[in-house]
Every structure is written in structure tokens, then in C-alpha cells.
Amino acid sequence: MSPQLVAGLALVFVSIVLAIAATGVFSPGSARSGVARSLAAVEAIHRSNRRDLRLQELDRPFAERVLDPLAAQFTEIGRRFTPEERIARIRRRLDLAGNPIGWDADRVLGLKALAGLVGALLGLVVPPLLGFGPLLTVVLVVAGCAVGWLAPSLWLYQVAYDRSQRVRRELPDAIDLLTISVESGLAFDAGLAQVASRTTGPVAQEFFRVLQEMQIGTGRVQAMRGLAERTDVPELRSFVGAMIQADAFGIPIAGVLRVQAREMRVKRSQRAEEIAQKIPVKILFPLIFCILPCLFLVIMGPAVITVIHNFTGRF
């Protein structure tokens, strides 16, 4: 090998070494600084992500950040202390109440747990302020918790009862309108649409739901049976049973509706007479304990004062 070739290779090797040294790839300090820069970049990314997540969390509404988790906790507590058959009963009450918008069994259970807690806190705070003893405080805490736990169920029962009474009052007029519509030449479904569109109240809402179920593919018989299952009004169940039988045996709908309308009017008259006959019994206790004492006081008071004055000279 010639000396010139060896010198050239040596110069190339020295140049490569000097270039690598200049870039600092193999320098320990540079390696540490590169790792540090990488770790700093990763930490900056994490801080940025945490800051972005925090800002996103703060941008959410207060109800989503605080109230919804609390509602979920109260719902879990309510489910823990409520048996399954009671939950099924609550769902049944919601059906009878017309399934109010935004209300379901979980919300009722959460409200029961919250009301029970509020009642217990009131029973714990109020008695010491009034100077009651520890024993009475414990009794009031238990009573407040029980009242708070039962209050949503009682409210739901009252809403369902009021709606059933409205269905019972409005059903005869709805059947009359349905009878007129069918006798004028409309089909049964079109008659239901007329009643649902021209009237308001729970009967119109139930008829509109029947129409919706039939539009999505449910048969008329299944839709009418669902209507009967969502209510506890005997008159409405009787009407549904008559319509199902008429559809099964091919009986003309108009004649069945005419008979049902007449029966509904008779039952409404009988119910009004029954309510009127109950009034004397219901007014008996207010009459004895509220009206008669005041009446005796007004009538007999002056006579008693006169007798006392004549015999004793007082007054």
C-alpha cells in the first residue's frame, strides 16, 4: 500500500472523528441534556393535557360536574334500601301517572334517599334549638327520616290517583267524540286521531300513544292491551276489552262504540249519585267538632251569661 493512500485514509478517519466530536453525540453531558430535554417536553405535554382537562372540566355546567354525581350517589343509596318488588311498584305508579317527562324509577329512588337525609337533618337540628331533650331528638330524627323517605312515594301515588280520576271523568266525552267520528265514516284509527288532536288531557295522551305504537308496527290489539295495562280505570279497561272483542269477531265498531258511550254516561251518572250520597257521612265529623260547638256558643252563650247574672249578680 502506498504512503499517499495510507495518509488519505488517516485524514478521512480523523475528519469523521472530529465531526462526531463537534456534534457532541458521544459526549455524556450532551446525552444527559438531550434526555432532560425529552423529559421536559414530555412533562410539558402532561402539564398541558392536565391543564386542558381541568379547563374542560371547569367549562362543563355545574349540574353535570356536581349535581349529576350526587344524584347518582343518592340513586345508588335508594336502590340499596329498596327491594325489587317495590321498584316494580314504583314503575307501575309512574305508568299510572302518565310517565312524567324526566321521571323514572331511579330518579324517584334518588329523591327518596335525599328527602330521607333532609328529614333526618331537620330532626337533628331543630329539636335542640327548641330545647328538646336527646330522647325526643332521636325520635324526631327517625320520624323525619321516615317521612322524607315516604314523601316521594305518597306524592307519586297522589299524582297517579288524580290522573286516574281525570281519565274517569274525561272518558265518556272522548268515547262520544270517537263514536261520532266513526259513525260519520272515519276508520277507528282516524277516529282515535280526531280525539287525540281535538281534546286535551290524559285520555288524549293515551290515544295518541296508541296511534304512535301502531305507526311503528305494533298491532292494534297489542296497542289497545298496552293502553289497558297503563291504567287502573275499570271503564277504560272495559272499553279496551270491547274493542278487542269487536276486532276479533268482526263486529261493527260503530255499534260497539254506541253501546260503550251509553254505558259510560250511565256510569258517570251513577258515580255522581254515589259521591252525592257520601257527602252527609263525610260532613258529619266537621259538623260535630267544628260547627256545632260554635253554634252552641253563639246561641247558648247569652242565655248562660243572663242566668249567671240573675243568680250571682256577676257580669
Higher local confidence (pLDDT), 298 or 62: 298
Summarize the confidence of residues 274-288 as an average pLDDT.
Answer: 87
What band does 17 get if pLDDT is binned at 50, 70 and 90?
very low
Determine how many CB atoms are found less than 10 A away from the CB of residue 202. Answer: 25
For residue 139, is pLDDT > 80? yes
Mean pLDDT of the residues in the chain: 80
Higher local confidence (pLDDT), 54 or 12: 54
Burial of 157 (0-12, 13-18, 19+ CB in 10 A): middle
Dist CA 80 CA 87 (whole Å): 11
For residue 198, is pLDDT > 50? yes
What band does 252 get if pLDDT is binned at 50, 70 and 90?
confident
Dist CA 239 CA 260 (whole Å): 7
* DSSP string across 206-221: HHHHHHHHHHTT--HH
Query: pLDDT at position 20, please?
Result: 46
Dist CA 237 CA 259 (whole Å): 15
Query: pLDDT at position 34, please?
Result: 53
Residue with cell 349535581: 67
What band does 201 get if pLDDT is binned at 50, 70 and 90?
confident
CA atoms lying within 13 Å on the CB side of residue 173? 13
Query: pLDDT at position 189, please?
Result: 87
Higher local confidence (pLDDT), 48 or 60: 60
Nearest to 93 by CA among 230, 225, 262: 230
Angle at which helix 68-80 crosses helix 105-130, to 10 degrees, equals 90
- Diameter of the chain measured on Cα atoms: 162
Determine how many CB atoms are found less than 10 A away from the CB of residue 19. Answer: 10
For residue 137, is pLDDT > 50? yes
Query: pLDDT at position 154, please?
Result: 92
For residue 31, is pLDDT > 80? no
Summarize the confidence of residues 36-47 as an average pLDDT.
Answer: 60
Query: pLDDT at position 163, please?
Result: 92
Domains of the chain from N-terminus onward:
65-164 (no CATH), 171-282 (1.20.81)
What band does 62 get if pLDDT is binned at 50, 70 and 90?
low
Q: Which amino acid is at 230?
A: R
What band does 26 get if pLDDT is binned at 50, 70 and 90?
very low
* DSSP string across 138-169: HHHHHHHHHHHHHHHHHHHHHHHHHHHHHHHH
Residue with cell 274517569: 168
H-assigned helices in 216-312: 220-229, 234-249, 253-286, 292-312
DSSP 66: I
Residue with cell 316521594: 152
Residue with cell 253563639: 298
First to last CA, the chain: 153
At CA 49, angle to CA 44 and CA 54, rounded to 5?
125
Query: pLDDT at position 314, please?
Result: 63
Dist CA 230 CA 212 (whole Å): 15
Query: pLDDT at position 19, please?
Result: 45
54 Ramachandran zone, left/alpha/beta (phi>0; psi -120 to 50):
alpha
Dist CA 116 CA 119 (whole Å): 5
Pair 203, 167: CB distance under 8 Å:
yes
Q: Cα 157 to chain center, whole Å?
A: 13
Q: Cα 158 to chain center, whole Å?
A: 14
For residue 65, is pLDDT > 70? no
